[in-house]
Amino acid sequence: MTMKTPRGRLLAVLILLLAMSAVRTFTGADALTGSGAMGAALRLSVPIGLAALSGLWSERAGVVNLGIEGMMIIGTVCGAWAGHFYGVWAGVLAGALGGVIAGLLHAVVTVTFGVDQVVCGIAVNILAVGVARFLSVIAFSGLPGAGATQSPPVTGAIGTVSMPFLAGGWGTPDLLGRLEQSRWFLLSDVSGILRGFLHEVSWFTVLAVALIPVSFVVLWKTAFGLRLRSVGEHPAAADSLGVPVQRMRYYGVLVSGGLAGLGGAYLVTVSSTIYREGQTGGRGFIGLAAMIFGNWRPAGTAGGALLFGYADALQLREPSAVHVLLLLAAVLLWAAAIIFLRRRPRLLLTLALLGAAAFVLFQSTDSVPTQLIYATPYLVTLLVLVTVAQRLRMPACAGIPYRRGGA
Amino acid sequence: MSPRAPSLTRRMLSALTAPAFALLIALTVTTALLAAVGASPGRAYLTMLDFGLRPDSLVSAVNRSTIYFFAGLAVAVAFRMKLFNIGVEGQYRVAALFAAVVGASVNLPGPLHLAVVGLVAVLAGALWAGIAAVLKVWRGVSEVLSTLLLNYVATAVIAYLLADFFAAGSASGSTPELPPSARLPELDGLVSLFGLSLPPGAHLGGAALGAVVLGVAVHLMLTRTRYGYDLKASGLNPAAAHVHGIEPRRMILLTMLVSGGLAGLAGLPDLLGNTYSYGVDFPSGAGFTGIAVAMLGRNTPVGIALSALLFGFLERSALILDIQGLPKEIVTIMQGVIVISVVGAHEVVRRMEVRRAARLMREESVPVVTPEPVRPAT
């Protein structure tokens, strides 16, 4: 596919930007590329992205992790508890630790005991709901402003940072902000998008974004990463070369738990300042969807998370702009169809038809029902699975317990 | 040199070891938790038993367990051929919505009305599960992912349909109420046969009878029909099953439809015996509990019935804990621990049996030539 070469990727980004600014100019829906919506998209995509990275680490090591949701829940309750008593960064650390403990349970049951990984993941989710409620009753019910399902606010807040000169950090001029206001075609759109990513970004977000290249480097550029991935692709071969299969799988699942816990901690320290029951709202599963969308690769995974965060941000900030997304989808699908004109006629037809359907929907309706917007991330993921399922490549042995000698 | 079959008592023992072991671990964990928060575990368990064994509690537990039984059966049928239906949650809610809408809009005499409502629920559940089946057969999409994603799509679609069509005019956000002819009869007479007298307000729902009938039917389907055999064969060895003429695509499609249809029934005990309408506050979560119930029940109807009863009993008897100032979620923890330890224990037992079989083979065969070099112990 074109996305595999650097030139192809550049082309894809360019087409996306062009389409976005064209649609923005044509419809006047300024929120589409505004820095406000982009900033919100980034904030909303962080927990999804952390959950997706969590899934990536676990599945690359050959362990399917459906318990990410549960590990995030543990992260929220631990994060809120430590955040209230010992300050907000202690909450971040405690959230990650809580996730690691939940990950340890998943690792012991699936790696050591060889239990079916899907079953264990679901059991972890059930267990986590109970544990979180139990812990919150014990830890929070006596405190002022809290109850059985809600924690008191965390102490302090995580600071934000703006890029100097570009987005007005440390008293410097806000260059991108000014460009965004001028409403030029493409230039203002690019400025708006960039400013959204650079203006008043939480340090936690910086940390989370940094974890994407870190994961890439560790997993793809180090000996440790090679061993960890080999255990997910062909454990018997890895074993024959002296790679400690079970230990590598433990590492993968523990890191996975920690990342999921961090995602939970983000929810209680940045997204809000308290723990509430049901706060994770299925983000662990959306994260898995983002990971599949990204074909089990860090950059794609981050792109998937950002897409879901973007849809969510538009829906929250400006529901009317979501209707415009249909037009954007139509334009992008047609652009993709033109790119595949020569090589894959059947795909071309599918894409063109989908684009036409999106366009007809855009023309014949005034708004998208808010209840259905909620389904967007899941429908997009399903669409990705349907159109490129054969091209997606999950780690070959993810989901299969490994025993030496096959017993 | 006939293979030595394990005796009946041995088989029974090995079937019961794992659940007993799991219950023991779950009790240990919850005892530790209760002790850690300074409550007396013994007193907590005794109050739970005391409250849970009251006649009205037992009836309520049975009513609750019928929901889990249907959900568990749905998961189990699919799991027989190693298909994970994680979408029971979405399937039964979609089914309950359509059953509620159709049930309220037609007017038929009693039993026929119930039959129509049941049929609609089965069809709606099967269709919703059928999406995942088609995606798997047509494009090779893993059913674990698609059923999971479809749960969320179901939530959105249900909210949309309720708000814009089915409950557009209602203040409560629910579908119109079902007429009496579409409600399940109560089986209180059956209870009095056992010499129990129910306090006012407690009723044994008709779904319990339906669960027994359906359980027997599914048992017969799994053990006495061609389809049941094909299902088992496809689960144990898909390649061999295919060679023997069992078309895997047809089996996937059929099995997901059956599973979804069974899932569709899981919403009915509440819809036809409790709420009588579908609204935003319709009880949810039974789909995920159903997975746990199926795993605990080892995917057999009898096992699922027992574990559904256990889950229903635990949830009902936990209600007393809240009154005593203890978090009743201790029972959710118990359920999670039971599931993890029962699948873990089964895996351990399975490995022990594999090793035992290998030892028997070694002892019974004459070791003249060892065909393979002896492996170092692992």
Q: Is A222 helix (H, G, I), strand (E, B) or coil?
A: coil
Say if residue A130 is in the same domain as residue A217. yes
Q: Is the model's pLDDT at B373 over the cut of 70?
A: no
Q: Is the model's pLDDT at A4 over the cut of 80?
A: no
pLDDT category at A347 given cuts 50, 70, 90 is confident
Stronger pLDDT, B231 or A158, i.e. the higher one: B231
Is residue A353 assigned to a domain? yes
Stronger pLDDT, A134 or B73, i.e. the higher one: B73
Mean pLDDT across B56-63:
88
Boundary-marking domain end, from A172, A199, A226: A199
pLDDT at B308 (0 to 100): 95
Mean pLDDT across A206-232:
96
* B351 touches A: beta carbon within 8 Å: yes
Say if residue A147 is in the same domain as residue A279. yes
Is residue A403 assigned to a domain? no
For residue B129 the two structure tokens come to 């599960």
Look up the CATH number of the domain holding residue A121: 1.10.3470
Range scoring the smallest mean pLDDT among B4-8, B75-79, B113-117, B119-123: B4-8
Q: Is B207 helix (H, G, I), strand (E, B) or coil?
A: helix
Mean pLDDT across B296-313:
92
Say if residue A381 is in the same domain as residue A294. no
Distance CA A116, CA B79 (A): 12
Mind listing the pLDDT tens digit for each residue in A138-155?
A: 888 778 877 778 888 888
Which residue among A113, A379, A403 sits closest to B348, beta carbon to beta carbon? A113
Mean pLDDT across B331-347:
86
- Evaluate whether A76 touches A367 at the Cβ level (below 8 Å): no
Burial of A352: CB neighbours in 10 Å, binned 0-12, 13-18, 19+? middle
Is residue A57 assigned to a domain? yes
pLDDT exceeding 70 applies to what percent of chain A?
Answer: 94
Say if residue A281 is in the same domain as residue A375. no
pLDDT at B23 (0 to 100): 84
Contact list in B for residue A375 (CB cut-off 8 A) is 152-153, 155-157
Mind listing the pLDDT tens digit for each residue in A365-406?
A: 877 787 787 787 788 778 877 876 667 788 888 888 888 765
pLDDT at A388 (0 to 100): 67
Stronger pLDDT, A59 or A184, i.e. the higher one: A59
* A369 touches B: beta carbon within 8 Å: yes
Domain of A346 in residue numbering reads as 319-395
Stronger pLDDT, A334 or A231, i.e. the higher one: A231
Reported CATH class of domain B66-302+339-354:
mainly alpha
Say if residue A270 is in the same domain as residue A323. no
Mean pLDDT across A41-56:
95
Number of domains observed in the structure of chain A: 3
Restricting to B residues 231-270, those with a Cβ less than 8 Å away from any Cβ of A are none
pLDDT at A144 (0 to 100): 80
User: To which H or E segment does residue A202 belong?
Assistant: strand A201-202
Which residue among A137, A292, A407 sits closest to B354, beta carbon to beta carbon? A407
Q: Is the model's pLDDT at B140 over the cut of 90?
A: no
Q: How far is A385 from chain B (nearest CA, A)?
A: 6
Is residue A138 assigned to a domain? yes
Q: How far is A346 from chain B (nearest CA, A)?
A: 14
Q: Is the model's pLDDT at B7 over the cut of 60?
A: yes
pLDDT category at B2 given cuts 50, 70, 90 is very low
Give the chain B residue nearest A389 (alpha carbons). Answer: B141
For residue B212 the two structure tokens come to 């027994």
Mind listing the pLDDT tens digit for each residue in B253-295?
A: 999 999 999 999 999 999 998 888 998 888 888 998 899 899 8
Is residue A15 assigned to a domain? no
Those residues with Cβ within 8 angstroms of residue A158's Cβ, 6 or more apart along the chain or in another chain: A88, A89, A92, A202, A203, A204, A269, A270
- Evaluate whether A379 touches A44 at the Cβ level (below 8 Å): no
Distance CA A44, CA B155 (A): 20
Mean pLDDT across A120-136:
90
| Angle ∠(B318,B324,B326) on CA atoms, nearest 5 | 65
Restricting to B residues 129-168, those with a Cβ less than 8 Å away from any Cβ of A are 135, 139-142, 144-146, 148-150, 152-153, 155-157, 159-160, 163-164
Restricting to A residues 269-308, those with a Cβ less than 8 Å away from any Cβ of B are 282, 285, 288-289, 292
Q: Average per-residue pLDDT in chain A?
A: 86
Closest CA to A311 of A48, A94, A54, A95: A48
Say if residue A173 is in the same domain as residue A150. no
Mutation site for B-interface testing, chosen from A65, A73, A74, A115 by largest number of B Cβ within 10 Å = A115
Q: Is the model's pLDDT at B378 over the cut of 50?
A: no
Say if residue A253 is in the same domain as residue A110. yes
Q: Is the model's pLDDT at B310 over the cut of 70?
A: yes
* A389 touches B: beta carbon within 8 Å: yes
* A386 touches B: beta carbon within 8 Å: yes
Is residue A65 assigned to a domain? yes
Asked if the Cβ–Cβ distance from B289 to A126 is below 8 Å, we say: yes
Say if residue A286 is in the same domain as residue A324. no
**If you ran DSSP here, which 8-state letter would residue B179 be given?**
P
Say if residue A52 is in the same domain as residue A145. yes
Boundary-marking domain end, from A199, A226, A260: A199
Q: Is the model's pLDDT at B367 over the cut of 60?
A: no
Say if residue A132 is in the same domain as residue A46. yes
Contact list in A for residue B86 (CB cut-off 8 A) is 66, 118, 122
Domain coordinates in residue numbering, chain B: 66-302+339-354
Say if residue A185 is in the same domain as residue A333. no
Mean pLDDT across B307-315:
93
Give the chain A residue nearest B153 (alpha carbons). Answer: A375
Q: Is the model's pLDDT at B170 over the cut of 60?
A: yes
Boundary-marking domain end, from A258, A288, A317: A317
Q: Average per-residue pLDDT in chain B?
A: 86
Q: Is the model's pLDDT at A84 over the cut of 80?
A: yes
Say if residue A223 is in the same domain as residue A176. no
